[in-house]
Amino acid sequence: MRHFRTTVLGATMLALVLSACSSGGDGSPAASSAASAGAQLPAITIGSAGFWESAVVAEIYAQALEQAGFTVTRKLELGARDVTQPALLSGELDIMPEYVGGYLAVSYGGTPTSDLDASLDALRTAIGADGLVALDPTPGTDADGFAVRSETADDLGLATMSDLAGVADQLKWGVAPECATNPNCGIGLKQIYGIDLATLDVQTLGACSPAIAEALNASNIDVAQVCTTQPEIAAFNLVLLTDDKGMAPAQNIVPIVRQDIMDQAGDLISATLNPISALLTTAELAQLGNAVVIDGGSYADVAAQWLTDNGM
């Protein structure tokens, strides 16, 4: 299993850990004090969508909250939003990792943009009416993107999509069959970056699939349409190009929590999950995917290793 970059969590998380190890004011042992505190906390059910990234992030939430004293039930890989959203609203689920742009658009009919703050504000307004709260988002975003091999990036000086636009006609592209009608692919490339795929050498492959990453790694194509946290990016040392003009909407991961659970737990849920979100960069999410999808680690083991490597 790949070991992750070690980062020390902030004073808030350390204070939680230390408080769990201290004796109660009545002189009782630390274990009794912690058990008493845990008994006063609400039980929590955490769910995830039916794919690896949502599930491993949910497992990280679950293990961290258990360390903070909560009793946690997991319902991982529960399904798509037509399953998970009713479960949140009914109280079957209490916490769920979601994606700012996708959640706003699909569940609430909003129009997300690449502006995270604006999209998150719109999401918080929408979900507040349903008794839900969005905590701090991750810096990492799982959006449509484009990657090249590291040697291509070095040879042509590619770091951004604007850089790619200048050499687009020199490269063979791999995109999804539906790219032409996707605002984050064919439409956006032409309107925002001036890249007209209709005039280029293009092969159709499954977007975000192992096949498209393998074709890129094997030099069968030079540019691949990927998901920005796709595990093969790390596995093949690919270079994810920065969407410098904001073609893709914000797809940062955000914990969605029922307000009634937040009210019962005070600030302990946000104090536990916000420091975790702060560490989940796009590259870090790709590394988690590499550990699960490429290396075959279980959600529980990968989550535990990540928490350990990050000071918990």
Res 21: pLDDT = 39
Taking 80 as the threshold, does the pLDDT of residue 20 lie above it?
Answer: no
- pTM for the whole thing? 0.81
3-state secondary structure of 209: coil
Identify the structural domains of the chain with CATH numbers, from first to last.
Answer: 11-141+251-309 (3.40.190.10), 144-240 (3.40.190.120)
Judge residue 38's burial from the number of C-beta atoms within 10 Å of its C-beta, 0-12 exposed, 13-18 middle, 19 or more buried.
Answer: middle
In whole angstroms, what separates CA 20 from the centre of its chain?
29
Question: pLDDT tens digits, residue range 40-85?
Answer: 899 999 999 999 999 999 999 999 999 999 999 999 999 999 999 9
Res 255: pLDDT = 98
Alpha-carbon distance of 57 to 52, in angstroms, equals: 8
Most confident among 3-7, 18-22, 248-252 (mean pLDDT): 248-252
Taking 80 as the threshold, does the pLDDT of residue 96 lie above it?
Answer: yes
Q: Which neighbouring-strand residues pair with 147?
A: 224, 240
Res 17: pLDDT = 36
Question: Which helix (DSSP H) or strand (DSSP E) does residue 300 occupy?
Answer: helix 299-309
Sheet holding 201-204, edge to edge: 201-204, 172-175, 223-227, 144-148, 239-240
Closest C-alpha to 129, from 158, 102, 108, 145: 108
Question: pLDDT tens digits, residue range 131-159?
Answer: 999 999 999 999 999 999 999 999 999 99
Alpha-carbon distance of 85 to 99, in angstroms, equals: 13
